[in-house]
Amino acid sequence: MLQAAAGERVSLHVAFKEDAGAKLAPGTVAQFPEIVALSERWGITFQPAVDWPESVYSSMAARAIQNTGTDASVQKIRRIWKVTVPDSVNAVRIIEQLSATGLFEYVEQEQLMPEPPADIPPVTPSYYPMQHYLRADSGVNIEYAWSKGIFGQGIQVFDIEYGVNRAHEKLEDQSVSIMNGMTIHANVSAAYAEHGTAAISVVCSDKLEYGNVGMMHGITSMVLVPEYTEQRDYDRVYAVSKALQEAAAGDIVMYEMQAGIDNGSEYVPADYNTTIWNLTKAAVDAGIVIIAAAGNGGVNLDTDPRLGSYRNRGDNGSIIVGAGSSDGNNNRLTFSTYGARVNVQAWGTAVISAGYGNYARIGGDFNQNYTMFSGTSSATPIVASAAIAIQSYYHDRTGAYLDGRQIREILMATGKPQGDPQNGHIGPLPNVKTAFDHVDSLVENGVGISKVPGLRTVHIFPNPADAVIRLELPAGTAVKHTYIFDAAGRVVYLSDRWQDQVDVSGFAGGYYTVVVLGKDNQVFRSGLSVVK
């Protein structure tokens, strides 16, 4: 088990209960005498765990309402605070005493730096013939997306982990950057940083005829969001919050991270940490696509007695990725964590990528390192690339974006079945061609993709429209708010009283979403096409 040394500073995260959170003032907890007393006794300090500006909270809240009918998951983030404990020796007693105040939903220690889930002269040979995970037989058939002209256009991707070598020959001319205001810490080892090089290269290595070819090499951008920085030291929650602050609806965020049960080496998804789980749910509700490694711990998420609280949290909407075989049988690899919550799989072995140099180091040059990437670490960017392809294709056809739950539904419904689910469920292997066929059918037949249970339909006449529309709800429905969102998730119309007619003549042509919230918490939602 990882443990902080005596005298070392450690961090906790606490989530105020809703009634206590209502009393919070910006930036201070001084209104709670219990907290003031503990702070004076132990020298602990409190600060908001997430420093989003109000504009980000407002935008995410609006998008969450659009997608789910409520912004509760976003508002909960305001109630999560970071507690800095100056000496780890006292951490257990402080956790006990904070919990005893009755103010918090949970008090949890932050993870202690878990492991990551694992052409210039001279001429580099092409490794494309080795990239069978790209193909139709035993792979995800990403080449079908290429044949349709889809290379990830219009999609932003964020990767949260330790580091990346942007000078690698496969990445130096791609749109790979490090999050503004964040500097990879000097203590991050080359092995940890090269993990990011490998994962990112699976997605977006350039398409030139040497080394490996990135699966979605035409994405708009790839942003590395480091967990361990010169600005904040190791702070996973901060890294996730920064990625989500910058991500827009439809963007892809990769969690190339895992968490150890009780800070040990039995690895499970990163959202085992409750604050990461809450941030993830807020992001998915706001339309961001989260794709997360299941972890390399071989843990059964369904039955492990230590994971009861994790299971009880339910489903936050992320896409969790297991590691499967590379032989076309789609069997779980023994090290992959598994269970009903693991949604899809991809190759967890034999994935040629940039980085490390343990497969090849051309001319002794660090920037020409190549590796056989493996684990849920290699599976995650493969699934992310399939998701990027689906998102890019859908956007190309409609001008709108799918959210994470919708993409997950497509991946699971259209993938190649797991070969041995009796040996631990990790779900199907994505199949890009059948996913595209599914999208075609949905778009051409005007059939919507489900978002969350409980959504009902608001009837819109006419639709498509160019002037005044009429809205119809079941008789007797009491209305709280009516929203109209554009394809980017922005609120373009808001009314706090029921109006059955809305003039959309001033709207630009395109796809919109109408959401009506009832006073009894019913949610009505339908798409609207405005024509010019």
H helix intervals, 205-273: 236-246
Tokens for 307, please give them: 């994971």
Going by CATH, does the domain composed of 128-445 fall within 3.20.20.150?
A: no
| Choice among 111-125, 126-140, 412-426 with the minimum mean pLDDT | 111-125
Alpha-carbon torsion (95, 100, 101, 102), positive or negative: positive
Residue 424 pLDDT greater than 70, yes or no: yes
447 band by pLDDT with thresholds 50, 70 and 90: low
Pairing between strand 360-361 and 369-373? antiparallel
Report pLDDT digits (tens) over 189-229.
Answer: 999 999 999 999 999 999 888 999 999 999 999 999 999 99
Convert 121-132 to b/e letters by CB count within 10 Å (16 or more is b). Answer: eeebeebeeebb
Number of helices (H), then strands (E), in the chain: 13, 26
H helix intervals, 102-189: 142-147
Cβ neighbours, 10 Å, residue 207: 14
What does the pLDDT read at residue 494? 87
In the predicted model, what is the mean pLDDT of the chain? 92
What does the pLDDT read at residue 121? 64
312 band by pLDDT with thresholds 50, 70 and 90: very high
What does the pLDDT read at residue 446? 59
H helix intervals, 358-457: 375-398, 404-414, 432-445
Residue 348 pLDDT greater than 80, yes or no: yes
Domain limits, the chain: 10-109, 128-445, 455-530
What does the pLDDT read at residue 523? 81
Tokens for 477, please give them: 């429905």
What does the pLDDT read at residue 518? 82
What does the pLDDT read at residue 449? 53
Residue 216 identity: M
Report pLDDT digits (tens) over 9-25.
Answer: 889 999 999 998 878 87
pTM for the full predicted model = 0.87
d(CA 401, CA 333): 33
Report pLDDT digits (tens) over 277-311.
Answer: 999 999 999 999 999 999 999 999 999 999 999 99
Cβ neighbours, 10 Å, residue 484: 22
Q: Which of 30, 85, 26, 21 is nearest to 51 (CA)?
A: 26
3-class secondary structure, 107: strand
Give kind and range of the element (H or E) at residue 292: strand 289-293
State the Rg of the chain over Cα. Answer: 24
Report pLDDT digits (tens) over 143-153.
Answer: 999 999 999 99
What does the pLDDT read at residue 2? 44
Residue 313 pLDDT greater than 60, yes or no: yes
What does the pLDDT read at residue 1? 38
Residue 117 pLDDT greater than 80, yes or no: no
Q: Residue written as tokens 């080449």? A: 143
Report pLDDT digits (tens) over 238-263.
Answer: 999 999 999 999 999 999 999 999 88
Report pLDDT digits (tens) over 60-73.
Answer: 999 998 888 889 99
**Domain 10-109 is of which CATH architecture?**
2-Layer Sandwich (3.30)
Q: Which of 450, 401, 410 is nearest to 431 (CA)?
A: 410
Percent of the chain past pLDDT 90, that is, above it, reads: 74
118 band by pLDDT with thresholds 50, 70 and 90: low
| Choice among 195-204, 444-453, 454-463 with the minimum mean pLDDT | 444-453
8 band by pLDDT with thresholds 50, 70 and 90: confident
In this prediction, residues 508-513 reach a mean pLDDT of 88
Burial of residue 513, with CB atoms counted within 10 A of its CB: 0-12 exposed, 13-18 middle, 19 or more buried: middle
Residue that wins the pLDDT comparison between 303 and 420:
303
Report pLDDT digits (tens) over 27-44.
Answer: 789 899 999 999 999 999
Residue that wins the pLDDT comparison between 452 and 479:
479
What does the pLDDT read at residue 28? 85
DSSP 444-475: HHTPPPP-STTEEPPEEESSSBSSEEEEE--T
What does the pLDDT read at residue 455? 57
The dihedral formed by the CA atoms of 71, 72, 77 and 81, expressed in degrees to the nearest 10: 150
CATH fold of 455-530 reads Immunoglobulin-like (2.60.40)
Percent of the chain past pLDDT 70, that is, above it, reads: 96
What does the pLDDT read at residue 262? 86
| Choice among 70-79, 114-123, 384-393 with the minimum mean pLDDT | 114-123
Tokens for 89, please give them: 């020796």
327 band by pLDDT with thresholds 50, 70 and 90: very high
In this prediction, residues 108-129 reach a mean pLDDT of 80
496 band by pLDDT with thresholds 50, 70 and 90: confident
